[in-house]
Amino acid sequence: MKKSIEIDKNSLTPVYRQIVMKISAMIDAGELENGEMLPSMNELADEHEISKETVKKAYTILRDKGFVEPHQGKGFFVRKNGEAHKLKVLALFDKLSTYKQLLFDSMTERLDGHAEITILLHEQNVEILEYFLNENLDNFDYYVIAPHFPLDAATQEKVRTLLKRVPNRKLIMTDNWIRSIQGNYGAVYQDWENDIIQGLGDGLDTFRNYNRLNVITLPSSLYARPIRTGVERFCRDNGIRVTYSDVVIPENVSKGEAYLLLSGQYDFGLIELARLIKKKGLTVGKDIAIISYNESPISEIILNGLTTVSTDFIQMGRLIGDMILEKRLEKVHCNFRMTRRDSF
């Protein structure tokens, strides 16, 4: 007996996409079994009073995604066991920084042999995100999106509208979770304000050995405000003196000072700080302390070991891979910690 494939003509979702989503969901749930024949294109078109071309478009997408296969002169059938398609995953990141590379490599390693992964960069431009989604909305099984965009109201509203176009069961937000979007999608995220408090707290005993914390800020960061709020709370609650500056102030580079560089490992701020420390004959990790924001493979090498406070991007990638393989989408806060090395 042929299974019913329901279509809602009043839905804003195009009919061909409804057919794709319904049949793929039925296959995933085992409602359509391996080797089972789908309704013919004419049958489905007549049943719902839609064009045959609409059904053909849907079946072609299902074929390209590996859910079904055509048999000459017979019709379309669910792929048999042993012939299951590889999952197709689209990663839409803002940029491929060193830590995003850690995330991507970890996700790729976890999905090795099970998925084909395409990566595109939206560069925090909502128009580019819109273009990529328009071009690819029916082409992938999962969309792993880093929704890092300007925080003004108009841009954020457009981002929410675009992300809502991705079916819940296919969407995984990474790094940033837009909580105002309702649904049963996945998210593996960090919490900038509370995470920095926790990370700095891991080194509270060492902070007591220094006179002041000098924070070299990164005003261009989308999350500069919540990170600064977290630093302010940590210092206030623990009685730590703190100053903020966009650049390293030479006269502040002296014995008994600690530094938190929010610009990461490759910024001129770190280079300038290291130069001044050497010029003044100070010893890193003893006379002066340095902490950098976000872990990177090079952190182990810089200054004989650069202490970092960072989200665990390797864990983030692994969690995303697990969600995809287990078809289990949930919201998970990623670990954030201090990795202590000789600089602190």
Percent of the chain predicted with pLDDT > 70: 97
pTM of the model: 0.77
Structural domains in the chain, CATH included, are: 15-78 (1.10.10.10), 87-190+314-338 (3.40.50.2300), 193-310 (3.40.50.2300)
Whose tokens are 């393989």? That residue is 325
Beta bridge mates, 339: 308
Contacts of 326 (CB under 8 A, 6+ apart): none
The answer to whether 193 and 230 have CB atoms below 8 angstroms apart is: yes
Q: Alpha-carbon distance 323 to 227, whole Å? A: 28
The answer to whether 166 and 199 have CB atoms below 8 angstroms apart is: no
Contacts of 324 (CB under 8 A, 6+ apart): 87, 89, 111, 114, 115, 141, 142, 172
pLDDT in tens, 169-215: 899 999 999 999 999 999 999 999 999 999 999 999 999 999 999 99
Q: Alpha-carbon distance 227 to 105, whole Å? A: 26
Beta bridge mates, 71: 75
Q: Could you tell me the two tokens for 275?
A: 């130069």
pLDDT in tens, 217-263: 988 889 999 999 999 999 999 999 999 999 999 999 999 999 999 98
Contacts of 193 (CB under 8 A, 6+ apart): 226, 227, 229, 230, 233
Neighbours of 53 (CB within 10 A): 11
**Burial classification of residue 68, based on how many CB atoms lie within 10 Å of its CB (0-12 exposed, 13-18 middle, 19 or more buried):** buried
Q: State the pLDDT confidence band at 310, using cuts at 50, 70 and 90.
A: very high
Torsion of CA 294, 297, 303, 309, to 10 degrees: 20
Q: State residue 31's pLDDT score.
A: 87
Contacts of 278 (CB under 8 A, 6+ apart): none
The answer to whether 232 and 238 have CB atoms below 8 angstroms apart is: no
| The amino acid at 169 | R
| The amino acid at 309 | V
Q: Could you tell me the two tokens for 223?
A: 């999350």
Please report the DSSP string for 236-277 in residue order: HHHT--EEEESS--GGG-STTEEEEETT-SSSHHHHHHHHHH
| The amino acid at 89 | V
Contacts of 29 (CB under 8 A, 6+ apart): none
Percent of the chain predicted with pLDDT > 90: 66
Above 80 in pLDDT, residue 161? yes
The answer to whether 310 and 277 have CB atoms below 8 angstroms apart is: no
Q: State the pLDDT confidence band at 66, using cuts at 50, 70 and 90.
A: confident
Q: State the pLDDT confidence band at 292, using cuts at 50, 70 and 90.
A: very high
The answer to whether 161 and 115 have CB atoms below 8 angstroms apart is: no
Q: Which candidate, 219, 217, 222, places its Cα nearest to that of 147?
A: 222
Q: Could you tell me the two tokens for 126?
A: 């909502």
Q: Which candidate, 58, 61, 55, places its Cα nearest to that of 40?
A: 55
Q: Which candidate, 38, 333, 67, places its Cα nearest to that of 175?
A: 333
The whole-angstrom distance between residue 41's C-alpha and the CA centroid of its chain comes to: 38
